[in-house]
Structures are given as C-alpha cells and as structure tokens.
Structure 1
C-alpha cells in the first residue's frame, strides 16, 4: 500500500494487537463496529482482527451521504467507529444522531476532543494471539445492501459462509504462493474483502490501492508484477478509454482478471481480453451470497472469441456445492431456456438480514436465496442473467436504491410524480435517470433538479439525466411500470445485468 509494506509476521502481530484492543476496550462478542475510510492497511487489519476478537465489522460506503451513514450505524447498533482522517469531520457532524456509538477512533488524524488516536489506542496492547475461541457459525461481518423500502438491509455473513465461498472460488482460481493480487475496489465491498482473504489463504501478496485511478492501475498491472486483479467493468472501461498507451504496456505477469458487479458491454470485454492477454473470469452473485454463485471461467471466454460470442452474455455455471433454480412467481421450476427468478442454495448464503425476520423469511423462503434477478439456464448449464426483478440500479459497481432517490426528488417543489430507473452507460454499466412529472404551471430544468439531488445524495446516486413526461405508466394497483419505462433505453442490449 503506497510505500507501506507488511510481512506476514508483521501483519500477524498487528492483527493480534488490534484484536486485543477490541477485546480490552470493553467490546463483547457479536458487537458491531464500523469502519469509514478509503482503502488502507488498517482497513485490512480491521477485518482480520475483528474475526479474532469475535466483533462484527460494519463497513461504511464513504460515497453515501451522512444521513445514510446515520441510518446504517444506528440500525446496526454500532458500538465503535474507526474513521480515517478524511471523514472525521463528517462523522463529528452527525455524532449527536448516533445512538449507540461509545468509542470514536481516528486514524492518522489531528487530535480532536472526544476522539482517540488509533496509534495511541492500540499502543499498550499485547501482540500475542487472543485466546478467545470463535466458532464457524458466528457472525464475521455485516454488509448493507438494498431494500424494497429504499432503506438498506444488513446482510449477516457467518465465518462458515465466507470460508465456504473462499474454498469454492479457490477450487478454480489458479493461485499459488508468491502471487500478487491487486485490490483497488473499496474494502466496503464484499468482493474486495473476499479477494484479500483468498490472497492470504493462497500465500500471496496483497497490493492495495487507496482508490481507483486508471493511469495508476494500469501502471501497477504492468510494473508491479501483479498476477491477479479484481475489477468492476467501469474500471476496465476507464483503463481502455483514458490510458492512451495501454496497448504498449507489458502485462506478461498478469494471469487473471476477475470481474463482475455490474453490466459490461461485449465490445469492452473483447478489447480488454486483447489488451491484457490474460485469463478473464466473471463472477455473479450478491452480498447475501458472500460473493459468488456462478462463474464464467477462462475457457468459455476463449471459446467466445473463437466463434461462440453468445457465451460472453452468460454469467457462467454454479460454483461447487451450489444449486441454481429458475422459478416462476409461485416458485415453481421452469424448463431450460425459460426466464424466471434466479434462486440459489449453498453454504455461502447469508444467515439473515439484521433484525429483519420478515425480510429474511421472504428472501430465504424454502431454504433458497431469492436473488431478485431474472434469467434462464441453457442446455449446457450456463446461467444467463437478463434483468432485475428488483429495481435496484448498479452503477459502476455501486448499488443505487431508486426509492431513496425518488424520496429526495419528491422534495423538489415543482415535482409531482417521479420514477428513477437505470439506463445503459458505457462508462458505468448503468447510470441513474429520473423521469419526472412537473406540477401544473411549474417549470424546472434538468440541471436544477440534478443540482438539488447533489446536495442530498451521494454522487453516484444522483441522476445524470432527467426526462420530463406528462404522466407515468402505472398498473391498476398504482405501481409505476418501470420495466415499460426502461425498455426504450435498453432496446438492442442483449445483456442487462452481470
């Protein structure tokens, strides 16, 4: 990470020290602790130390608005928050709204009343391994994902679920001791966390970048002997677009790029495979399934380039010990080739949504995870993901909850009705569009509405375009027909989700 380096032994001591700090600061097994930061070494230590101490990380998306941080922190009943210097003032501004946080820890920040300095906080703690026994059914982390009401839900993952997905993925990932795995996706993302676990499990080196910069990413891939990287399609697209001499770079050390989390165009994928000349592996899954349910391995990618381009539209086959079903609205199985909701079962599924028994029962009814995605399985066992049953938008790997955006737009005085949808974007996979009905005799420009949203939402959640209509299409019960709204923008796109 930058100029910082840790050996395995140094990391072992640092993790033990932080774990002992958690234990000796009064935290109990099962207590939730939050982290708000861009990628850094402390973030990695945070996950490993929490696992040893039996406390449960709640990583916060730094791109969310402070109001959204408040909701997640309070919902998780968080007892402690670690914050990098860049976000101390943001947390301080909402401190009075945080109901359960008792300890505020600042990493490499100027001294501030009511905050403890991270280095001083851990300094007196032993570096011996804690004696606490952690079992595989205990919670390992809690990550927040979308909810139908617009509020995110905390998906609780156990040690068993995460290690199961690790073993499932390492069964086909050709890693070995000495490999160098680049992590640039933010560590509040499940895939980045599992990628770090996999790297350590295989005896590799984690090469961590603070944030995504296409020029720096390409430099690292070509000059730092990186053997594997996990990227979202928006990152791949940005590298191909904004690094003019990328075709001249030497990527001979690079063996594998794993991608997923949002739509990717066939043209982008083809160009990336030509430039990087390495194996490409696609992962399909969701936070509630740790990371991966299916994978499209390197061989189908090669087959696609050799004359079977339709394979690039597939999300792959199930990872080991995972079952996939396609069902109708009554959970009845559908035949091969028929489109329905994708259901999954395997050891990598979440335990529950935090403190939401009804939502948990609905999502896991019958012992199967109801993904909310629609797709079909072909005669060769490949899963094709076509659309979302849910309306969630995935923009550049970030989840956007339409209802949350709509709630903000309804606060705009000139708007009487609104629907938010995802539309295709070469850069981001999808981007947010607002379709607006104005009040009679009221006027507003797209720019004014977008600027209004920027004051109340995270940047990735804000609409990038606004359409004005006379009326929104609705079904007899009054629900907006979002599929009908999306259709004109997605016409000609065979693949809607990845």
Structure 2
C-alpha cells in the first residue's frame, strides 16, 4: 500500500468526522482530503515531480499536517524539519536531502531567507499561514488547483519520507523510509494496539517525530488529531479531559514534568487507552507513579529512526504487575518483539546471544530502513551480519522481554569494569527530589574514567551528593556508585527532548586527546 492509502482509509470510515483540530482550525476528514488533492496538484503544476523532495517547517499546526498529506498524495518524498532544531542544522538537512520545495510557517520567515542562500536546490517556497516576504500564501497558491485525486501509482519499496537520525553526535544522517517501512510500522502498531472505536490522538510532542508518526498511523482508524503547539502541562491535562483523548505520546522527560504538575491527581484521565512513551529509558519509580495517576494505560515502544518506533512493545496489561516480584522487573524492559520485527542480542563477532547475556540489540525485517540517503558507507556499517545494529546494549530474559542497558558508546570503563550509566540513572531517578539526571564517565587518574552523576532537581527540592552516592551504593554497590555528583539548574537537551550527554561529557573532557 501507499502511505496515503492509510489516510484515505480513515476518510472512508467517516468523512464528516473531525480529522485535524488546533487553536484556530477544525476540519473533517473529507475537507482535509480535498486539501491534500489541491496541494498535490499545485506541487505538480509548479514542476515538482514524483520522487522529488519536499519539506514542512512549522510548529505543530493543522495546516502543516495538511501539507504533509499533500506531499505524500503527490508521491513526493516528505522531509520532516524540526522547528526546535538550530537553523544551521535544518539548513544542512534541507541541502543534504536535496529538498526542492519548502512549506514554512511565517514564524520562520528569517530562517527561510537564510535557506535561500544556504540551500540553492530549494526552488519553491510556500508560506502556510500568510504571504511570505518572497513566498505565496498557501491558500492563494492552491486556489486554482484541482480538487481531484492525482492517484499516482507507487512502488511499495520506493522512499516516501526521509527522517533525520538523532543528530546528538555529528551531522544527522537522512534515513530512508519506504512505503513498505510505513506499512510494516502501521501493521505492528495495530496488531499491538487494536482499536474498537475511532481514537482521539493528542499531538503535543513535535509532529516531525513520534507524535506525527503516531498521528499518521492512527488516521487509518479515523482518528481525530488534537494539536497543541508545544508541551504545557496545564494545557495537556485540560485537553485530555475536554477532548476525551484516547491516545498520546510523550518522551519520559515530558512525562516527569506532567507528574510534577500541581493537582495532577485531581484530573480525569478515564478516556485514555494508550499513553505511549519511548525515545529514552524511563524510571521504574516514575512509571509506578504514572500507573497510579493515569491508570492501566501506559504503553512502551522501542525503535529508532532506522527501525521506527515499534521494534518492541510493552502493553498496558504487562505494566500491571506491581506487587508481583517475578513480573515487576519487566517494568525495566521495553517489551517483547512486535509481530513483524525480529529482535535479538548479538556479540561483536555476529553471534546471537542466549537469554541473560548482554550484547548489541539488533533487528531485521521490513521495518528496517533500506539505508541512509547518499551514504552507503554508513549503511554498510550498521548492517553487518545481515542485521541492523541499533547501537544499544541490552539482553533478553527467558520470556523474551528486551532490556536496554545502555547506548554502546555510553559505556563507562572504570578500573577495568564495564559500567552502564542507565542502571545508575534508574536508581537516581527514583530519588524524590530528582527531576532528571545523566550519568557519564569523567577523566580520573586512578580509575581511567570515574562515574559522575549530573542532576537536575525538581523546582523547590533539595538533595546533596552524599545521599545520592549512598543511595547508589546501597542499590548497586560501590563500583557502580558515582564518585562525584554535580547539580545543574537544567540539563542540555536536543530538540526532541533527549538529554545531550555528549554536551555534558565535553564539559569534563575538553582539551584532552582522548575521551575515554
């Protein structure tokens, strides 16, 4: 199937149901479908051929979502551009991905002017909310476009989108997603989370990442997308109540902020069916708090840009194990492999490891990207032994649950012992005063690398180094306990909310010839 066929399936369920809703716009599936026809036909009239790249650069907004659907409708390749990225990073992505058409929000007018200099391949600019300095207003631009489906045939192995890989270390790579990758992800989604009625999905995290992906997938079930411009705890809890939200995605950092919201337990979350979390490990203690506040709805997935979102799945039912010591440990896992995606543990020589043994998490199947855009060397590097290498260290238990121990590159070697920061972070996250933390290795004459915790405290809370170290020693022993603890007002984060350990490490390794 083409990706746009899944949206059309949602139209067929109920064309008069609300499809997209934000602070200023509310449109039905039928109306959004007609908009996608006109945008696709206007792109073709402007000379953009099927298979050429187009991008949308906007905060979360209903009109931006329509532009994405129009790009897909025209069999063009969608390049998501995160509004939270630096202008320089976005210019690199646009140029590296050979983008020729850019839909942008007027909020980024100055950045669009810079792109005109830095990205010479872009030949078509359209401003989505009003006329730009040198760009037509979207509504004027599509005024004469036909409201008929161009109905362009597509190969399921043809790329239809190019996502950026992380970008926390070096320049981001363009990750090719074909129609088949999307089809597999959507199949994994609905076999893991079947729906009984049209969902209501809250888009609050950036729509250029997981929140947008979940939104596109749920459209196949006729889901209404309630779109917020960004994360605000008060608005999130109010919207869940007033709109009857059934599905939403947030990264753990935002979930911690939601839990800290005053009066969180006084709100009604009974409409929620799946509160999806992913993108980073989550504190087991915080997860238990989520179950108390939101009920039996917590849903974990694991994936990455190269094998998106649904490599593994931990269902709401599998979260309800508190009080059962044998099963409660599963809350530290990311679930079991999804239906269409084999997941295994591999050593450095390509051998698959038995349960309990640590190694790199590897995946294969149609969920895996066909490769990086214009980067065959990097593609080959992550594809050895016939599996995609995630760069995550983990293990499987006897029941097939996958546990992520750490990123391969984040491992600390202290006094000859391998120390995995996420184990220590899990303990520190459980301290009642801790908002977030990062554990890294820092240079040390005796140990080579010493374990250091860098902590962001909750507003108004206090803690000291001795109690953090004592907590870790009690739970993990002296080898894994931090040798030192720093308290920072806030931890550096990427545009999608991940703590940037690379930036924290550079603070302590600056000026040295080695970083391990």
TM-score range, shorter chain: 0.7 to 0.9
Q: How far apart, CA to CA, are the structure 2 residues paired with 1:345 and 1:261? A: 19
Structure 1 counterpart of 2:189, from 163, 169, 193: 169
Q: How far apart, CA to CA, are the structure 2 residues paired with 1:187 and 1:350? A: 20
TM-score normalized by the length of structure 1: 0.80
- In the alignment, structure 1 residue 365 sits paired with structure 2 residue 384: yes
Aligned to 2:479: none
- Could you say what secondary structure the match of 2:253 adopts? helix
Aligned to 1:442: none
Q: How far apart, CA to CA, are the structure 2 residues paired with 1:5 and 1:11? A: 10
Structure 1 counterpart of 2:200, from 168, 177, 180: 180
Q: How far off its partner does 1:343 sit?
A: 0.6
- Could you say what secondary structure the match of 1:10 adopts? helix
| Compared CA separation, residues 139 and 168, structure 1 to 2 (3 A) | same
Q: How far off its partner does 1:469 sit?
A: 7.0
Whether the aligned pair in 1 keeps the contact of 2:59 and 2:229 (CA below 8 Å) is yes
Q: How far off its partner does 1:323 sit?
A: 0.9
Q: How far apart, CA to CA, are the structure 1 residues paired with 2:71 and 2:507? A: 46
Q: How far apart, CA to CA, are the structure 2 residues paired with 1:436 and 1:39? A: 42
- Could you say what secondary structure the match of 2:277 adopts? strand
- In the alignment, structure 1 residue 194 sits paired with structure 2 residue 213: yes
Aligned to 1:38: 59
Please provide the CA RMSD for this pair: 3.0
Aligned to 1:335: 354
Aligned to 1:275: 293
Whether the aligned pair in 1 keeps the contact of 2:296 and 2:320 (CA below 8 Å) is no
Gap regions ≥5 residues in structure 1: 393-420, 438-449, 473-477, 482-498
- In the alignment, structure 1 residue 229 sits paired with structure 2 residue 251: no
- C-alpha distance after superposition, 1:395-450 (max 9, x if no partner): xxxxxxxxxxxxxxxxxxxxxxxxxx99958587555989699xxxxxxxxxxxx9
Aligned to 1:216: 235
Q: Which runs of 4+ in 1 moved over 6 A?
A: 432-437, 457-460
Aligned to 1:238: 257
Aligned to 1:67: 88
Q: How far apart, CA to CA, are the structure 2 residues paired with 1:116 and 1:428? A: 45
Q: How far apart, CA to CA, are the structure 1 residues paired with 2:30 and 2:297? A: 32
Q: How far apart, CA to CA, are the structure 1 residues paired with 2:510 and 2:247? A: 50
How many residues were matched structurally?
A: 431
- In the alignment, structure 1 residue 11 sits paired with structure 2 residue 32: yes
- In the alignment, structure 1 residue 144 sits paired with structure 2 residue 179: no
Single out whichever of 342-351 and 358-367 deviates more from structure 2: 358-367
How is 1:377-456 mapped onto 2 (pairs within 5 angstroms)?
377-391=396-410
Structure 2 counterpart of 1:121, from 126, 138, 141: 141
Structure 1 counterpart of 2:367, from 336, 342, 348: 348
| Compared CA separation, residues 193 and 385, structure 1 to 2 (3 A) | same
Q: How far off its partner does 1:150 sit?
A: 0.9
Aligned to 2:515: 480
Whether the aligned pair in 2 keeps the contact of 1:66 and 1:91 (CA below 8 Å) is no
Gap regions ≥5 residues in structure 2: 1-21, 412-420, 445-487
Q: How far apart, CA to CA, are the structure 2 residues paired with 1:458 and 1:173? A: 24
| Compared CA separation, residues 431 and 140, structure 1 to 2 (3 A) | farther
Whether the aligned pair in 2 keeps the contact of 1:279 and 1:298 (CA below 8 Å) is yes
Whether the aligned pair in 2 keeps the contact of 1:85 and 1:107 (CA below 8 Å) is yes
Q: How far apart, CA to CA, are the structure 1 residues paired with 2:208 and 2:298? A: 23
Whether the aligned pair in 2 keeps the contact of 1:176 and 1:202 (CA below 8 Å) is no
- C-alpha distance after superposition, 1:141-165 (max 9, x if no partner): 1001147971110000001111111
Q: How far off its partner does 1:355 sit?
A: 0.2
